[in-house]
């Protein structure tokens, strides 16, 4: 299954980690009131015991909504992530992006001078839900794109293409469903029922994307071209409605380079298509991915 989620952000050209809570092999959807509490490096030790309450109905409107209906998760003896030598991160991760500038005939007219982006370590907050037996994980991270492009003054349109992050369940290898972020949407909701070990659980995933230009400058060159230096930051906030006690979310970042594509191929990915739950298959090269553990104290 293709894990390289390609997203596109349109830019106006007219203005110049695995921590202790993953060490067990328990049922990831089990009620674990009797289990020993764990802590995470992402949180201070003196965090208050009482979690804030969040009603998903209070979240902002989403641009797209899909349901995966029912998804049956097979019981496992050994968690998917055990023995796979997953590269776990606890700091900023570098990955790749590509900037594209077009003239009025939609020919590419720029030369990229930087392909390196960064993904920050996610900040995780856990809320109590208004639905009994469930909690809400809020996951916030940023992606920084320092665009450096040699281009003419006659740029008609520009965008950059990058790999969005994804989420996978540590215990089963099941990937979370998504709606691809295109130039048409900046938010989505996917929801459905997960059936595990004979029990049914309502699960929902919300994603919001906001972009900001942090800096922008143009430097004239003697040959008539300009060096465009624009730094764009994308802030993404994810919300997960999951059964209380579930601690199996991993965030993954694709760090391989595969942007040697034509503009037509890239634009073909500019579609808000729905990807249902699947499996992080054995055909994926795990060396091309870095993982963050999405952990929080109970």
Per-residue b or e along 193-214, where b marks 16 or more CB atoms closer than 10 Å to that residue's CB: ebebeeeebebbbbbbbeeeee
Rounded CA-CA distance 61/158 in Å is 27
Q: Is residue 198 part of a domain?
A: yes
Q: Name the domain count of the chain.
A: 1
Termini Cα distance of the chain? 33
Total length of the chain = 298
201: β partners: 194
Predicted pLDDT at 31: 41
Residues 219, 144 contacting (CB under 8 angstroms): no
Q: How far is CA 71 from CA 125, 175, 203, 239, 260, in A?
A: 26, 11, 10, 19, 35
**φ, ψ at 102 (rounded to 5°):** -125, 150
Q: Evaluate whether 209 touches 183 at the Cβ level (below 8 Å).
A: no
Domain-located, residue 298: no
In a domain, 158, yes or no: yes
Classify burial at 298, counting beta carbons within 10 Å of its beta carbon; exposed 0-12, middle 13-18, buried 19 or more.
Answer: middle
Query: How many whole angstroms separate alpha carbon 10 and alpha carbon 162?
Result: 12
Handedness of CA 84, 251, 163, 189 (dihedral sign): positive
CB-CB contact of 181 with 164 (8 Å): yes
Q: What six digits make up the tokens of 2?
A: 């293709």
Tens of each residue's pLDDT in the chain, 298 residues:
344 556 777 764 333 322 223 233 333 334 444 434 333 343 344 445 678 999 999 999 999 999 999 999 888 889 999 989 999 999 999 999 999 999 988 889 999 999 999 999 999 999 999 999 999 999 999 999 999 999 998 899 899 999 989 999 999 999 999 999 999 999 999 999 999 888 999 999 999 999 999 999 999 999 999 999 999 999 999 999 999 999 999 999 999 988 777 778 888 888 899 999 999 987 889 999 999 999 764 4
Predicted local distance difference test score (pLDDT) of residue 27: 37
Helix H, strand E, coil C: the string for the chain is CCCCEEEEEEECCCCCCCCHHHCCCCCCCCCCCCCCCCCCCCCCCCCCCCCCEECHHHCCCCCEEEEEEEEEECCCCCCCCCCCCCCECCCCEEEEEEEEEECCCCCECCEECCCEEEECCCEEEEEEECCCCEEEEEEEEEEEEEEEEEECCCCCEEEEEEEECEEEECCCCEECCEECCCCCCCEEEEEEEEEECCEEEEEEEEEEEEEEEEEEEEEECCCCCEEEEEEEEEEEEEEEEEECCCCCEEEEEECCCCCCCCHHHHHHCCCCCEECCEECCCCCCHHHEEEEECCCCC
Nearest to 230 by CA among 290, 121, 140, 155: 155
The answer to whether residue 217 sits within a structural domain is yes
**CA–CA gap between residue 113 and residue 276 (Å, rounded):** 36
Give residue 136's domain range.
5-43+50-293
């Amino acid at each position: 299954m293709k894990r390289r989620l390609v997203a596109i952000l349109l830019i106006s050209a007219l203005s110049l980690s695995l921590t202790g809570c993953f060490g067990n092999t328990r049922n990831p959807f089990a009620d674990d009131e009797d289990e020993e509490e764990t802590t995470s490096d992402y949180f201070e030790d003196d965090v208050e015991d009482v979690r804030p309450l969040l009603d998903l109905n209070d979240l902002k409107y989403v641009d797209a909504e899909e349901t995966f209906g029912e998804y049956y998760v097979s019981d496992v003896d050994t968690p998917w992530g055990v023995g796979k030598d997953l590269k776990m991160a606890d700091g900023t991760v570098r990955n790749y992006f590509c900037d594209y500038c077009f003239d009025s005939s939609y020919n590419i007219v720029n030369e990229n001078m930087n392909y390196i982006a960064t993904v920050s370590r996610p900040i995780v907050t856990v809320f109590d839900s208004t639905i009994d037996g469930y909690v809400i994980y809020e996951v916030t991270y940023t992606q920084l794109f320092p665009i450096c492009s040699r281009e003419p003054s006659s740029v008609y349109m520009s965008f950059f293409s990058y790999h969005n992050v994804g989420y996978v369940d540590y215990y089963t290898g099941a990937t979370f469903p998504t709606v691809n972020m295109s130039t048409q949407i900046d938010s989505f909701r996917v929801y459905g029922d997960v059936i595990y070990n004979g029990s049914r659980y309502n699960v929902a995933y919300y994603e919001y994307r906001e972009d900001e230009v942090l800096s922008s400058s143009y430097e004239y060159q003697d040959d008539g071209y300009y060096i465009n230096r624009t730094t764009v930051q994308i802030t993404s906030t994810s919300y997960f409605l999951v059964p209380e006690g579930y601690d199996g979310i991993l965030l993954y970042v694709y760090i391989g380079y595969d942007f040697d594509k034509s503009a037509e191929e890239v634009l073909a990915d500019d579609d808000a298509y729905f990807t249902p739950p699947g499996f992080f298959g054995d055909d994926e090269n795990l060396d091309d991915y870095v993982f963050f553990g999405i952990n929080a104290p109970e």
